[in-house]
Amino acid sequence: MDYEFHWNIVFQNMPELLNGAFVTLHVSVLAMLLGVVIAILLAIAKMNNSKPFCYVATVWVEIARNTPALFQIYMAYFGLGAFGIHLSPYVAVLSALVFINAGYLTETFRGGFQSIPTTQYSASKSLGMTSIQAYRYIILPQMLRRIYHPMTNQFVWSILMSSLGILVGMSELSGTTQRLQSLSFRTLEFFIVAAVMYFIITKLVLFSSSLLARRLFKGEI
Amino acid sequence: MIRKLATLVFACAALTSVNATADQLDTVIQRGTLNCGVVLDFPPMGYFDENNEPAGFDVDYCNDLGEVLGVDVNILNLTWGDRIPSLISGKTDVVIGSTSDTLERAKTVGFTYPYFVFKFQVIAHEDKNIKSFADLKDLKVGAALGTTYETEYLAYADKQGWGRDNYTSFKSENDAFLGLYQGKVDAIISTNTNIATKLRSKEFADFVAGPYVPNYDDVVGIIAKRDEVAWINYLNLFLVRQIRDGNMNKAYNKHFGVDAPAELIQSLRDNK
């Protein structure tokens, strides 16, 4: 390849790139946490016998899983904008990611819930626990342990998907990379460094969640 | 003896032709197709016409170039950010995409002589009543990501101590105008030519063109791979001939409705 790499320009701009990387980490961790909470509620709603809850959960899951993330982020920003609702790029990307994470995780959680024998629920009830207690102390801990791997997969996915934030002008890692490369036209250098940073971020997240899991689940998973 | 000599001559001829490396100019001519990159969301320089065909000043230049080279023209639609990757990956031979000729960028790509000069301008709703660039102080301002006007605005804002909280960048020119139209931002910065085109549409009837970015002429060149010196030489001559042969004026007239201003042509001649 007849191309000379100029790395110094990338190092000069490292502070800005790190800033972008921090925004990426920030938005995806927040989107994951909110997504997990909503997904648990949706999964319970989906298994519920009451029609309206089940219906809402199904619609959410179907839309989140069967439309492109790109479209959802665009809708959150320009789509809502058409109705006079103006989210900042950060909030638009965050809400789109929460929407997607919740949609995908709902199905994962539902599978997790259903893998726990219903007799455990009955047993907790017979010990005098309320429904909430039964979920909190008996069902959820076992369920979370079983779905730990699909959940971290979704986490990695959501970090990588946050790069679509560039569509709505968000200054996360990809947006910052794009801006910096347009100043110097050192596209390859900036993209390579950004890719390495994404790699480090996902590895970091996987590592810390496995630490957390070991503590929570008391042992190997 | 004669046979031996002849073999030697042929062998030499074969060797020299192997040694001479074909440059971009040869490649384009031998291929018979010019892959010309244009940014097609930047009217009137590049856009899709009512038949969804690429059109605009830059597209005309691509076609003029193809004609003098005697090859077919393949127009590739690029975003601002795609311009360099497309050259480096060999998808385009040349990018006629209103590329500002900064010295920083010239460390990476080869620039020709300037072929156009833009002014950067503000467009906002008429209620905003923006008289000078300093009136943007407390307004939400946007621009397309990776453009020189974005850089110029941010440099100005930093100098004035405005901070960047009020600034929004958009993925493309169209998105920036959509954001302005929806009211996501109060004003955007774009080029005088693009703004003049947009103001003719009924969506932007209530909008007005505001002040220019102070002390800045956006001089743009054609770009090609930096090491393709012979190719860039050819492109330079092409640009000189575009003005001399009247093609520049023809393209200008077609897309701006008037003859090219004398000062624009003078400035192109001065800048080269």
How near does any CA of chain B get to the CA of A187, in Å? 7
Burial B198-232 (b: 16+ CB within 10 A, else e): beeeeebeebbbbebbeebebbbbbbbbbebeebb
Task: Return the number of other C-beta atoms located less than 10 Å from residue A144's C-beta.
Answer: 17
Give the model confidence (pLDDT) of B121-136 as tens digits. Answer: 999 999 998 998 889 9
Q: What are A33's two structure tokens?
A: 């946490």
Give the model confidence (pLDDT) of B154-170 as tens digits. Answer: 999 999 999 888 899 99
Residues of A in contact with B170 (CB under 8 A): 168-169
Give the model confidence (pLDDT) of B47-59 as tens digits. Answer: 999 999 999 999 9
- List phi, psi (to 5°) of B141: -120, 145
Task: Return the number of other C-beta atoms located less than 10 Å from residue B135's C-beta.
Answer: 16
**Domains of chain B with CATH codes:** 22-117+218-259 (3.40.190.10), 119-217 (3.40.190.10)
A167 → chain B, closest CA residue: B171
- Band of the pLDDT at B82, cuts 50, 70, 90? confident
Which residue of A3, A178, A185 is in closest CB contact with B105? A185
B184 → chain A, closest CA residue: A86
Q: Which residue ranges in chain A fall short of pLDDT 70?
A: 1-2, 219-221
Q: Note whether B226 contacts A: Cβ–Cβ < 8 A.
A: no
Which residue of A86, A169, A187 is in closest CB contact with B171? A169
Give the pLDDT mean for B237-248: 95
Name the pairing type of β-strands B109-125 and B207-225: antiparallel
Q: Note whether B11 contacts A: Cβ–Cβ < 8 A.
A: no
Residues of A in contact with B80 (CB under 8 A): 182
Q: Quick one: fold of A28-170?
A: MetI-like fold (1.10.3720)
Partner-chain contact A175 B169, CB within 8 Å = yes
**ipTM computed for the complex:** 0.74
Q: Which of A7, A49, A53 is nearest to A190 (CA)?
A: A7
pLDDT at B19: 47
Partner-chain contact B146 A181, CB within 8 Å = yes
Q: CA–CA separation, A136 vs A55, rounded Å?
A: 24
CB neighbour list of residue B85: distance below 8 Å, 6 or more residues apart: A187, A188
Partner-chain contact A169 B170, CB within 8 Å = yes
Q: CA–CA separation, B144 vs B120, rounded Å?
A: 12
pLDDT at B272: 67
Q: Where are the domains of chain A?
A: 28-170
B contact test, residue of A187, A188, A190 with most B CBs within 10 A: A187
pTM: 0.80
Single-letter amino acid code for the residue at B259 = D
How near does any CA of chain A get to the CA of B59, in Å? 22
State how far the alpha carbon of A33 is from the alpha carbons of A37, A41, A96, A139, A143, in Å: 7, 13, 14, 19, 17
How near does any CA of chain A get to the CA of B8, in Å? 34
Partner-chain contact A182 B107, CB within 8 Å = no
pLDDT winner (highest mean) among A6-10, A197-201, B12-16, B41-45: A197-201
Q: What is the DSSP letter of B42?
A: B
In A89-135, beta strands by DSSP E:
none
Q: Note whether A187 contacts B: Cβ–Cβ < 8 A.
A: yes
pLDDT at B140: 93
Q: What are A175's two structure tokens?
A: 């947006």
Residues of A in contact with B83 (CB under 8 A): 185
